[in-house]
Amino acid sequence: MSIRNRPMRPKDVRECVEIVAAHPFVGPRYGSAIDDLRAAWLRLLSCNGFCSARVFEEELNGHFPRILGVGVTVFISDRFLSDLKTPPGFWMSPEIARRVARGDHSPLLSQKEIQDANSQGGLNLAVWHACIREEDNQRTEVWTELMTSFLDHHRGFLLKELIVQGESPEHLMGLHNSGGFLFNREEGRYGGLDGKDLREIASQTHIMGITREMALWPPGSWVGSLFLYEPPRFGFNVSEQRLLISALVGGTDEDLSDDLGISLSAVKKTWRSIYDRVAACLPELIPGNSHPDAENSRRGKDKKQRLISYLREHPQELRPMSRKLLQQRPAQGQGSFHDNPI
């Protein structure tokens, strides 16, 4: 058997909502309002403010017909995060679902707001759901796929805080072991889980999370790697980023043309623009840059592979950003945030 993840599609929403509704800890948080979740996800699947919605599947007889769980994250506003932290608190996921289903996107950042915050200040990343079917909840390989996907899709963002409301006692312990802390609303700060009843916490409106300063000092935690950040060097525009994101999964220029719904000539023109931008900023990455007529040439393939390999290690190049705000960032903010103490 094999487990993989892929983007959630509208036809997946009904089954994903059923998984949430059947969960012994998460379902009761929604109660009769579970229909809000279905409406919200259908509304947001095409919304620019939606960060990531992944479906996790298991291969059976060479196919992937069985959905094991769902992982959904969003970038939330400072105001909504402040409200979450204010006593007595509330369940984040049903509240987001309720507001979005009614057309109120105020808890979530728009694409422009994400772009600006990712260029200066930083983003609040919230895990809306990391929900696995109850019968598969104890399978290590399922959680490994979920956690790996989470890292892959959020590395390279300028994060300032990550928050989660644990979906089971086991989930809470996993968050704790990964470097997360329990927020104390009365004291207004994060602390440990030592001696606390995890089942009781999972049943209450808690917050697990971590800030950039906590994550990076001292360094070394699993979740801390998400907060390592360096500003992008190339400043790819949106069309260039779209092409490169598609190219990360492989395929020919003809495949990219089909995937992106643009002409083959537009694909080649975008590659030329990308190579010129890279050559101007980091000429040693693609030495002797030229524009071969045939991208199938050995030289063209080598150049593309070098760039793709670089982008896999530098995902910030493919995240939303504002060139203007990046240029305005103070000099001390231009490097990695690796040295910031708590």
- What are the sequence ranges of the domains in the chain? 3-227, 238-318
Categorize the per-residue pLDDT at 250 as very low, low, confident or very high, splitting at 50, 70 and 90: confident
Question: Does residue 2 have a pLDDT over 90?
Answer: no
Please write the tens of the pLDDT for every residue from 67-123: 999 999 999 999 999 999 999 999 999 999 999 999 988 899 999 999 999 999 999
Share of the chain above pLDDT 90, in %: 73
Categorize the per-residue pLDDT at 13 as very low, low, confident or very high, splitting at 50, 70 and 90: very high
- State how far the Cα of 124 lies from the Cα of 77, in Å rounded to an integer: 7
Categorize the per-residue pLDDT at 340 as very low, low, confident or very high, splitting at 50, 70 and 90: very low
- State how far the Cα of 42 lies from the Cα of 201, in Å rounded to an integer: 30
Backbone angles phi, psi at 241, to 5 degrees: -65, -40
What pLDDT sits at residue 337? 41
What pLDDT sits at residue 341? 31
Contact, 36 vs 98, CB < 8 A?
yes
Share of the chain above pLDDT 70, in %: 90
What pLDDT sits at residue 47? 76
Please write the tens of the pLDDT for every residue from 259-310: 899 999 999 999 999 999 999 999 999 876 665 544 456 667 888 999 999 9
Alpha helices in the chain (DSSP H): 13-22, 27-30, 34-44, 78-85, 92-101, 111-117, 140-154, 169-177, 198-202, 212-216, 238-247, 253-260, 264-281, 298-313, 323-328
Instruction: Assign residue 319 a region (left: φ > 0; alpha: ψ between -120 and 50; beta: otherwise).
Output: beta
Q: What is the mean pLDDT of residues 221-227?
A: 84
Categorize the per-residue pLDDT at 342 as very low, low, confident or very high, splitting at 50, 70 and 90: very low
Q: Which top CATH class is 3-227? A: alpha beta
